[in-house]
Amino acid sequence: MEPYASTITDLQQRLRTREISAVEATTSLLNRIEQVDKTINAYITVDREQALAQAEAADRKLADNSGGPLCGIPLAIKDVLCTEGLRTTCGSKILGSFVPPYDATVVARLKAAGAVILGKVSMDEFAMGSANENCAYGTPKNPWATTHICGGSSGGSAAAVAADECIASLGSDTGGSIRQPASHCGVVGLKPTYGRVSRYGLVAFASSLDQIGPLTKNVTDCAIMLNGICGHDPKDSTSLKQPVPDFTAALTDGLQGMTIGIPAEYFGEGLDPEVEQAVRNGIARLEEAGAKTVAVSLPHTKYGVAAYYLIAPAEASSNLARFDGVRYGLRDQTAETLQEMYCQSRSQGFGPEVKRRIIIGTYALSSGYYDAYYKKASQVRTLIIGDYKNAFSQCDLLASPVTPTPAWAIGAQSDDPLATYLSDALTIPNNLAGLPGMSVPCGFSAAGLPIGLQLQGPHFAEEKLLRAGFNLEQRLGLSDRRPPLA
């Protein structure tokens, strides 16, 4: 097998036995990127030199057996995470020349573990979108059907894993941006509990919702990556002092004694029949593995999209105020006054979706409207949290679709932002409640597009999610399938 096609565990094994070196593995990935990224466009920036230097350092660690499980493993990082000395654009023109002076904590942890950073992968501008079509550097293609979107906003992270252009990647999830592209690209994606993973060095979109997590070829790799990034960080005041278990330890246990809730509201109107069929088949496999299922209800699910599309833009309007041409990135050179400079830099630097969000968010927070919009949305958020509390008094995890439909054709929804917002209906409630959630491949549509099954759990239930995901993966046997790329 070509090294680029490996999982973390395969490659780890081959590196440890000296069958190949980290430099050889990294070279295999860099060549693969050169070969297929012309078609897929998953990467915004590839850094050959730094990647090879990190691989050499990994080889030294491997030689004296001091490397951990990620030592020498080539990874891709969503371009929303700061990387020291490596351009970080957030998919935006406004940060087109921004080279951070420091690493995000997650990146620092991966580097310290000996991982190799191949480069930065595509995303919707400032993580706002569900199709990766809102990116100043082009739209990545779905490796399973290059006429189709790969999902978003972590579209590049999902496409790069699916196309074997990295062994695993990191994404971020504010309203579904890890789980949804993972589902569309047939890879595993996990959004950890809010507070599990440090966001220091993550360019903030909506701070009460954002969370970083892995996208991988299988569930075991997902557990390994999660162990690589989890844990308390004094540099992020929202990071929690929760102990970090070995997430790989209990994967292979069966699901006896586990109760999985099936939320009625996730199987309602607008759900594509092929998605429903694949998800229900996945649920049957979970039952075969020993889980009991119960019907549960999360009655406020339908208000999630409306609440999120007020809360997230409100927070974004504040977070994005820092991009004003003074400290970072693009600055208009023709302005004569400070006011003009702010206005023109932001007008030129931001794309249409980001502008729309800033305007909605500023409006929702303005005095006189605050109670009607932001406060109301926050109250709905509390109701959604209550729904989950109630559901988790009856079950350990929830199983459902991730998205109502498989990936759509590129351009099909470009002039209908509302349709795209509505497609987030099944991932958003999870973020509003700060819960862990995961997408595991569970099938394909007749057209050959991947379909994911979503697992959600109460706070800190990552081990259970991974165990259920692993059981599902074993019983479906889909994780070795690869897209038909030339």
Residue (of 414, 76, 361, 339) closest to 204 by Cα position: 361
| Whether 38 is catalytic | no
- Which residue in the list 177, 183, 198, 400 is annotated as catalytic? 177
- Tell which one of 73, 128, 230, 380 touches ligand GLN (CB under 6 A): 128
| Whether 172 is catalytic | no
Q: Which two tokens stand for residue 323?
A: 């991009």
Site string for ligand GLN, 305-334 (x = CB under 6 A): -------x----------------------
Closer residue to ligand GLN, CB minimum distance, 116 or 178: 178
Q: Which stretch binds ligand GLN (CB under 6 A): 123-131, 231-239, 392-400, 407-415?
A: 123-131
Q: Which stretch binds ligand GLN (CB under 6 A): 57-65, 90-98, 173-181, 232-240?
A: 173-181
Residue 175 found at the interface with ligand GLN (CB under 6 A): yes
- Which residue in the list 153, 157, 198, 400 is annotated as catalytic? 153
Residue 130 found at the interface with ligand GLN (CB under 6 A): yes
Least spacing, CB of residue 287 vs ligand GLN, in Å? 30
Residue 452 found at the interface with ligand GLN (CB under 6 A): no
Residue 79 found at the interface with ligand GLN (CB under 6 A): no
Residue 117 found at the interface with ligand GLN (CB under 6 A): no
Question: Quick check: 114 and 61 in contact, CB under 8 A?
Answer: yes
Residue 145 found at the interface with ligand GLN (CB under 6 A): no
Residue 424 found at the interface with ligand GLN (CB under 6 A): yes
Least spacing, CB of residue 454 vs ligand GLN, in Å? 14
Least spacing, CB of residue 408 vs ligand GLN, in Å? 14
Q: Which two tokens stand for residue 122?
A: 């595509």
| Whether 177 is catalytic | yes
* Amino acid letter, residue 78: K
- Which residue in the list 6, 78, 111, 239 is annotated as catalytic? 78
Site string for ligand GLN, 199-228 (x = CB under 6 A): ------x-----------------------
Residue 157 found at the interface with ligand GLN (CB under 6 A): no
Closer residue to ligand GLN, CB minimum distance, 3 or 437: 437
Question: Quick check: 447 and 423 in contact, CB under 8 A?
Answer: no
Question: Quick check: 233 and 265 in contact, CB under 8 A?
Answer: no
Residue 155 found at the interface with ligand GLN (CB under 6 A): no
Least spacing, CB of residue 269 vs ligand GLN, in Å? 20
- Tell which one of 7, 83, 142, 153 touches ligand GLN (CB under 6 A): 153
Site string for ligand GLN, 344-383 (x = CB under 6 A): ----------------------------------------
Least spacing, CB of residue 13 vs ligand GLN, in Å? 34
Size of the site for ligand GLN (CB under 6 A): 13
Q: Which stretch binds ligand GLN (CB under 6 A): 60-68, 140-148, 174-182, 444-452?
A: 174-182
- Tell which one of 127, 182, 215, 449 touches ligand GLN (CB under 6 A): 127
186 Rama class: left (phi>0) / alpha (psi -120 to 50) / beta: left
Residue 58 found at the interface with ligand GLN (CB under 6 A): no
Mapping DSSP onto H, E and C, the string for the chain reads CCHHHCCHHHHHHHHHCCCCCHHHHHHHHHHHHHHHHHHHCCEEEECHHHHHHHHHHHHHHHHCCCCCCCCCCEEEEECCECECCECCCCCCCCCCCCCCCCCCHHHHHHHHCCCEEEEEECCCHHHCCCCCCCCCCCCCEECCEEEEECCCCCHHHHHHHHCCCCCEEEEEECCCCCHHHHHHHCCEEEECCCCCECCCCECCCCCCCCEEEEEECCHHHHHHHHHHHECCCCCCCCCCCCCCCCCCCCCCCCCCCCEEEEEHHHHCCCCCHHHHHHHHHHHHHHHHCCCEEEEECCCCHHHHHHHHHHHHHHHHHHHHHHCCCCCCCCCCCCCCCHHHHHHHHHHHHCCHHHHHHHHHHHHHHCCCCCHHHHHHHHHHHHHHHHHHHHHCCCCCEEEEECCCCCCCECCCCCCCHHHHHHCCCCCHHHHHHCCCEEEEEEEECCCCCEEEEEEECCCCCHHHHHHHHHHHHHHHCCCCCCCCCC
Closer residue to ligand GLN, CB minimum distance, 4 or 205: 205
- Tell which one of 47, 103, 173, 387 touches ligand GLN (CB under 6 A): 173
Active-site residue list:
78, 153, 177
In the complex, the residues that contact ligand GLN under the rule CB under 6 A are 127-130, 153, 173-177, 205, 312, 424
